[in-house]
Structure 1
Amino acid sequence: MDDATTTEPMTAPTAQESQEPQEPSEHLQERSGHSGHDDQAGPSRVVLLDNRDSFVYNLVDQFASLGSQIEVYRNHVSASLVLEALEPGDQDRRAGRRPVLCLSPGPGHPRDSGCLMELVSTAVEQGIPLLGICLGFQALVEACGGEIAPVGPVHGRSHRVEVTAEGRADGALGVLAGGPLDVARYHSLGTRDLPEDLTCLARTDDGIVMAARHRSAPAIGLQFHPESILTPQGPALLKAITADLGATARA
């Protein structure tokens, strides 16, 4: 069936099963979660663009555990379909914030990833709350005029990254303020230099940017994987970022 019309329940892994990469479904799917916390602490919805990565289910599981309602689209659908899903509904308006667009990790270069680049450019231009992870971070860099290039393969390893002064002062990344952060890295492309529109929030000791925020749009990118068990503070980080972004752009 066509992704534009198919909606079906997601059979998600348990928390233990989600510690390993899972194979995502082809279809648009929805899942609701409840964290036991006040639902004002995070976004009403997360619209997740699946860039054909095996970690997508891990992200879905993390967001559901934080109480978010999640909708998943594969990146071969039109950008307009995803943008339509990001239009605030009654629940979003009652909560006083807009849904957050999350761009998943994935293989290859962001410019070879379906509707990804069109979606990022439009989201930044329209002020749609956006979180880019790994490939999604790289797409944000490219959309803002930066360049992604080979930085050497790093796959399935835990690295300690340094949070910059801007990162320590950043409201969404307050969870990092205590010092260095241990994160999971699965990438061979990256950047050491950011375009003018992006501020570096964290980087490795050899200068590779690990986190950045847009200076004027509600957009944050993470080169590392917060959904991995190799990023111990990942759940707290996702909660802080999505709550911040969802509150930045009022519905």
Structure 2
Amino acid sequence: MKTRTFQEIYDFCRTDLTYQAYFHIPDEFSVKDRKTARYYFGAFSGGRSRKGTFIYTQSMRQLERFLRGTKQDHYLHANSETFEVVNRQKYDGPAIYIVTHIREQGVRIEFSHPFYRTCPYERIAFTARSHRTFTVQGIIAEVRAYIERHLLLAPGRYRALQLEYQIPKEKFPAWYRQYRKQVHEQEEYAHWEMVDRYLHQNDITFEEGYQIFAASGMFYDFNCDEYERDELTEEFVRSCNRSHSAVRQKTNINT
């Protein structure tokens, strides 16, 4: 048995007069002439009116004949990453809830996306018009194509961030500006923290400077007494650590 495509169902719903009759029933209070009111709202067989059950029954029978008895409505859950059908009673991970009905304009697909939902019952809806078959696999393929086209950014770094932090597409530019600012501040802090840590380790102490001069024989070359040795060592230590102090001062200003 051949399965209808979404486009075939769309064409049928738009052009078949018997099916469309149900959606074009006028409101009882808007009918102005008696003939029209009698046709739609008057009893014609067993107390039934055309608006009550007859037109609806004929419309649904026409749709069933067109679909050749295939299922009209679908309710299913799909994994938000693999798009495989899952049993919600056994699967606790993020899932997309999909509801499908055939309406006046064709196949109406509604689905809830994990980060496109501000309330538990909010859904995204669209009418499918592709040449995919009207099956469970076709419905999931339609939802996946809609998500790729309308809800996600182009493949790459931005999409990876969008999926990681679950940011809606329309909110992503503002979020990304704030994200870049935070990342820059974190990297800047980590850099100066590293610089400060290793600069402290490289500072020269008075004892180390004194030993350097003593080992090199400079005290004897300059014929320094004890006081001059201390002065020379202190000047050497200050000179070596001056750049370190400047960097630490800059670190304090930035933080």
* TM-score over 0.5 for the pair: no
Name which one, 1 or 2, has greater alpha-carbon Rg: 2
Tell me the TM-score normalised to structure 2 length.
0.18
User: Whose helix fraction is larger, Structure 1's or Structure 2's?
Assistant: 2
Larger RCO of the pair (alpha carbons < 8 Å, separation 6+): 1
Tell me the TM-score normalised to structure 1 length.
0.18
User: Whose strand fraction is larger, Structure 1's or Structure 2's?
Assistant: 1
